[in-house]
């Protein structure tokens, strides 16, 4: 099935970003939030990779920006091609926080063959801020 134009422009968000949004909603809501919102917030916090995502909002924003700016280069038939991480790959990296190239390739197969060696090591180094 081919990707539609709208799915190409959609932005995925990490568990930590979900936790921040829901925490803000809970704090600013004038009435009691639904139990599923509270449960989703608990889940997002638990699997965010950090103790309190709301206190680390700047770090999370910085990590996303850093990953969005990362790229790998490939020399294909004498032409240099730059590969950027997709929104889905960025969120998968933020949520799963793989520590090795092998783990990254197993957990996020789309990285294999594109992000290798030094490029992927550099990207994984940025994930050290996540303390899973």
| pLDDT number for residue 11 | 82
Question: What does the domain layout of the chain look like in residue ranges?
Answer: 13-129
Query: What are the tens digits of pLDDT across the range 43-82?
Result: 999 999 888 888 889 999 999 999 999 988 777 777 778 8
Cβ(56)–Cβ(16) below 8 Å: yes
Please, which pLDDT band fits residue 122 given cuts at 50, 70 and 90?
Answer: very high
Cβ(81)–Cβ(53) below 8 Å: no
Residue with the larger pLDDT of the pair 11 and 94 = 94
| pLDDT number for residue 1 | 45
CATH superfamily of 13-129: RNA Polymerase II, Rpb4 subunit (1.20.1250.40)
């Amino acid at each position: 099935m081919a990707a539609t134009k709208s799915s190409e422009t959609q932005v995925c968000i990490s568990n930590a970003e979900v936790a921040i949004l829901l925490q803000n909603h809970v704090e600013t809501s004038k009435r009691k939030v639904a139990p599923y919102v509270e449960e989703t917030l608990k889940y997002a916090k638990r699997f965010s990779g950090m103790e309190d995502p709301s206190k680390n909002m700047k770090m999370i924003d910085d990590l996303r920006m850093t990953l969005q700016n990362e790229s790998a280069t490939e020399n294909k038939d004498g032409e240099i091609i730059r590969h950027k991480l997709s929104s889905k790959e960025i969120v998968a990296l933020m949520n799963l926080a793989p520590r090795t190239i092998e783990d990254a390739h197993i957990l996020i197969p789309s990285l294999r063959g594109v992000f290798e060696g030094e490029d992927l090591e550099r990207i994984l180094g940025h994930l050290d801020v996540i303390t899973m």
